Amino acid sequence: MHRFLRVEKGVLKRCFMPKALVIPLNVTSIGENAFAGCGWLEEVIISDGVTSIGDDAFLECGSLTAITIPNSVTSIGDWAFGGCNNLTSITIPDSVTSIGDDAFRGCDSLTLIRLPERFDSPSALKRLGLTDDSQTR
């Protein structure tokens, strides 16, 4: 079995893969564009150990409805979940200290997002691509 510590840039870009994906414990980062355009991907579970989610990591994963982000994650890149128009809810743990611009732009079905308090201001929500503050709780 191949062991790896990072999901490299663009490794599965525009792939056709199973509907659910579990990022294993030994992975420490999810690279730029790693899963961008994976239209069939519906659910992602990120195991503890991942500390960063790169720019555009899940960009335009149009079927993605659920994602689990563990407490080990400290940063989420620009447009990380941009265009995930079927994503309905997401919880960002308090461990996250940095969220990139437009991280959730185009997530039109997002009705519930739980954010650390430091990101819960009108200007921060706009920068993240969230214009309707009824989306946050």
> Which tens digit of pLDDT belongs to each residue from 17-64?
568 888 888 899 999 998 898 888 899 999 999 999 999 999 999 999
- pLDDT on residue 15: 53
Indicate whether 16 pLDDT > 60: no
- The pair phi, psi for residue 43, each rounded to 5°, is -145, 135
Alpha helices in 1-137 (DSSP H): 122-127
Indicate whether 10 pLDDT > 80: no
Q: What is the pLDDT of residues 81-135, one digit of tens each?
A: 999 999 998 999 999 999 999 999 999 998 888 899 988 888 888 889 987 544 5
pLDDT band at 9 (very low <50, low <70, confident <90, very high): low
pTM: 0.84
By three-state DSSP, how is residue 10 classified? Answer: coil
| Pick from 98, 95, 88, 72: nearest CA to 80 | 98
Indicate whether 8 pLDDT > 90: no
By three-state DSSP, how is residue 59 classified? Answer: coil
More confident residue, 136 or 100: 100
Tell me the Cα Rg of the chain: 14
CA-to-CA distance for 27 and 40, rounded, in angstroms?
22
Beta strands in the chain (DSSP E): 6-7, 20-23, 29-30, 43-46, 52-53, 66-68, 75-76, 89-91, 98-99, 112-114
Contact yes or no for 101/126 (Cβ under 8 A)? no
| Pick from 80, 77, 136: nearest CA to 104 | 80
How many residues does this entry show for the chain? 137
- pLDDT on residue 29: 93
* 1-129 topology per CATH: 3.80.10
- pLDDT on residue 6: 52
